[in-house]
Structure 1
Amino acid sequence: MNNALNQLQPYPFEKLRALLGSVTPNADKRPIALSIGEPKHTSPAFVAEALSNNLDQMAVYPTTLGIPALREAIGAWCERRFNVPKGWLDPARNILPVNGTREALFAFTQTVVNRGDDALVVSPNPFYQIYEGAAFLAGAKPHYLPCLDSNGFNPDFDAVSPDIWKRCQILFLCSPGNPTGALIPVDTLKKLIALADEYDFVIAADECYSELYFDEQTPPPGLLSACVEL
């Protein structure tokens, strides 16, 4: 067995169940589930229609790469959403559909990290627990950057020492952040890209909340936005 399994923490929802185990809820109140994040609303009609029209495909195993039309659609969306130049992302080389962010982040970490006593995976704190678990199982140590009110609930990247950057193999970013919704400014993203070039680490931009925003005219920037500006 991998000894790193002993370093893994119980999943947050297990901890939550334990905390609430002895609590008797008020029967007059309607519960709000703050757990796994599954949809609470009816699926759009066109989604259900598309599924029903293609039920015959349920008997066909998908390829790992996904169908070309899907990868091309994802690339086109990146062009519209982040102002990526047309053709800049190659659907055959730069885009890989996945079943979920957790699986992708874990596999990505195992691929990128070169295990060693000094290997670090740097992440914001609080963080999506897979950052930590993937780091341990890849043979690296997690290094946490606190997201404090005094810094707009973003990590203070300027306070990170050169030694940490030298040992860093992956820097995880989450913007908009969970649970604060804090956005990492484009200028900060540019600075982090420069640091990644200088110290030879990889940035993993976990932007699973990128489409949750109030102003339709000003969607939040992402790492691709900073890359385009650079």
Structure 2
Amino acid sequence: MNPLLDKLQPYPFEKLTKLLGEVLANPKLAPIKLSIGEPKHPAPEFVTKILIDNINKVETYPTTKGIPELRESIANWATQRFDLAQSPLNPDTQVLPVNGTREAIFSFTQACVDDTANGLVVSPNPFYQIYEGATYLSGVDLKLLPCLEEHGFQPDFDAVDEETWQRCQILFLCSPGNPTGAVVDLETLEQLIHLSDKYDFVLASDECYSEIYTDETNAPIGLLEACVKLGRVDYKNCIVFHSLSKRSNL
């Protein structure tokens, strides 16, 4: 067995299930489960209709890259949502549909990390547990940056020492963050892009909650949007994860 498995912790929702196992809920109230990020509303009807109309396609294995129409749709949505017209995504080389961001983050980490280079993955704390599991199973160390109220529930990146940046191979971001909803602002994103250039690490921005906000005139900014505002045309060292389960109940 892989000895690195000993570093892994039980999934938090398993712990929560045990804690709530003996709790009897008030039968007069409908519970709101703030646990696993599973959709709690019906999927859009037009999507289920399309699935039904194309049910025969389950007879064939899908390609790893997904169908071109899907990648193009994703690229078009990202261009519209994050104002990427000056540097539109290439559906063939910069978009990859996945079965879930958890699986994608894990696989990405294994591919990106070099365990022979005294590497380090840096993550906000609290964090999505897959950041930790993927890091440990890749064979490198994890550095947690606390998200404290005095810093707007975001890491204090100015307090990160030189050695950490030198060892860093991946810096995970989660914006809007879970559980606080804190958003990494444009100035901070631009600072981190410059740091990734200087120290050659990858910025991995988990933006699964990007479409959950209250002010329709002020949507949360994304990492790729910050790149465009800096005049970057190649999105070097930047990867972003999105989720249909959070924004579309799929």
- What's the TM-score bracket when you normalise by the shorter of the two chains? over 0.9
Map of 2:65 onto structure 1: 65
Map of 1:179 onto structure 2: 179
Is the contact made by 2:115 and 2:138 (CA closer than 8 Å) also made in structure 1?
Answer: yes
Is the contact made by 2:122 and 2:172 (CA closer than 8 Å) also made in structure 1?
Answer: yes
Map of 1:217 onto structure 2: 217
Q: 2:204 is paired with a residue of what secondary structure?
A: strand
Deviation at 1:87, TM superposition (A): 5.9
Map of 2:199 onto structure 1: 199
Deviation at 1:52, TM superposition (A): 1.2
For residues 203 and 119 of structure 1, what CA distance do their matches in structure 2 show? 15
Deviation at 1:27, TM superposition (A): 3.3
Map residues 125-204 of structure 1 onto 2, 5 A cutoff: 125-204=125-204
Task: After superposition, give the CA deviation of every residue in 1:68-125 in whole Å (9 maximum; x if it has no partner).
Answer: 1111111111111111126632111111110000000000000000014731100000
Q: 1:137 is paired with a residue of what secondary structure?
A: helix
For residues 208 and 103 of structure 1, what CA distance do their matches in structure 2 show? 14
For residues 42 and 54 of structure 1, what CA distance do their matches in structure 2 show? 20
Quickly say closer, same or farther: Cα 1:47–1:12, change in 2 above 3 A: same
Which stretch of the first structure deviates more once superposed, 6-15 or 44-53? 44-53
RMSD of equivalent CA atoms = 1.3
Higher-RCO chain (CA-CA 8 Å, sequence separation at least 6): 2
For residues 149 and 173 of structure 1, what CA distance do their matches in structure 2 show? 17
For residues 129 and 155 of structure 1, what CA distance do their matches in structure 2 show? 17
Q: 2:133 is paired with a residue of what secondary structure?
A: helix
Which stretch of the first structure deviates more once superposed, 66-75 or 21-30? 21-30
- Report the TM-score when normalising by structure 2: 0.88
Task: After superposition, give the CA deviation of every residue in 1:141-187 in whole Å (9 maximum; x if it has no partner).
Answer: 11000000101101100000011000110000000000100000011
Structure 1 gap ranges (5+): none
Q: 2:171 is paired with a residue of what secondary structure?
A: strand
- Report the TM-score when normalising by structure 1: 0.96
Q: How many residues align?
A: 230
1:36 aligns with 2:36: yes
Structure 2 gap ranges (5+): 231-250
Amino acid at match of 1:48: T
Amino acid at match of 1:152: G
Map of 2:19 onto structure 1: 19
Which stretch of the first structure deviates more once superposed, 45-54 or 199-208? 45-54
Is the contact made by 2:125 and 2:147 (CA closer than 8 Å) also made in structure 1?
Answer: yes
